[in-house]
Chain A
Amino acid sequence: NAGVTQTPKFQVLKTGQSMTLQCAQDMNHNSMYWYRQDPGMGLRLIYYSASEGTTDKGEVPNGYNVSRLNKREFSLRLESAAPSQTSVYFCASSDGQGANTGELFFGEGSRLTVL
């Protein structure tokens, strides 16, 4: 049981390049999330998907796009990377039902550097 798996774990990009961060969960969860964490800061929500087929903006969606490919997978795309997007990206999932709505399971993070 892998939980939440993120790929890649590390990536270096040049300004203007594009890339997609992949996230998959094997817990049959309904909701999935993408957060970013800058050095010394708390997590900020980029996008989330409450259920398969829906996506919503979080606190800092600009410069990102997401796709809920199916119930298991939720990808985050940077179309034209900027140095300000250098961060650690965390994917999370939750059952999304009842009182367990806020019980999120996180991946190990993807460390992105944009030069």
Chain B
Amino acid sequence: DAKTTQPPSMDCAEGRAANLPCNHSTISGNEYVYWYRQIHSQGPQYIIHGLKNNETNEMASLIITEDRKSSTLILPHATLRDTAVYYCIASPFYNQGGKLIFGQGTELSVKP
């Protein structure tokens, strides 16, 4: 699995967009980019994933650069409840299950 690099912490004002960067310069062609978040001590929550196209769902948008060496998770209107640790993971696509290796993540603090 490709190594990912994220800033250890970020702040964002409530109501503004939160843009969380992730570097995965050694990503290979069969590796997806996954984003998860963990609020306080709860179990991690899946947010979104993508291969090479930008993706959007009800929670967030994922922008992957054309060379796939980096990506950005966008929370369009951050709220206090978005305060969490956000994990970016690069993992291969498997036909019969696989594994996700979590790194240290980015601690996002949304402030009033």
B50 to chain A, nearest CB (A): 9
**Contacts A98-B95, A109-B41; is A104 near B103 (CB within 8 Å)?**
no
**Contacts A45-B99, A99-B49; is A50 near B42 (CB within 8 Å)?**
no
A92 to chain B, nearest CB (A): 7
Q: Could you tell me which A residues sit within 8 Å of B by CB distance?
A: 4, 30-31, 33, 35, 41-45, 48-51, 56, 58-59, 88, 90, 92, 94, 96-99, 101-109
A102:B43 contact, CB within 8 angstroms: no
Residues of chain A within 8 A of B102, CB atoms compared: 35, 42-45
A42:B43 contact, CB within 8 angstroms: no
Q: List 8 A-B contacts (CB under 8 A).
A: A4-B43, A30-B96, A45-B99, A50-B98, A92-B44, A101-B98, A102-B91, A103-B34
With contacts A35-B102, A42-B85, A42-B105 known, what are 7 further pairs, Cβ within 8 A? A45-B99, A88-B41, A92-B43, A96-B98, A98-B93, A101-B98, A103-B49
Q: Could you tell me which B residues sit within 8 Å of A by CB distance?
A: 32, 34, 36, 41-46, 49, 51, 85, 87, 89, 91, 93-105
Number of cross-chain contacts by CB at 8 Å: 82
Measured CB to CB, the nearest residue on chain B to A103 is B46
A59:B101 contact, CB within 8 angstroms: yes
A103 to chain B, nearest CB (A): 5
**Contacts A42-B103, A43-B102; is A50 near B44 (CB within 8 Å)?**
no
A36 to chain B, nearest CB (A): 11
Q: How far is the CA of A33 from the CA of B34 in the complex (A)?
A: 17
Residues of chain A within 8 A of B85, CB atoms compared: 42
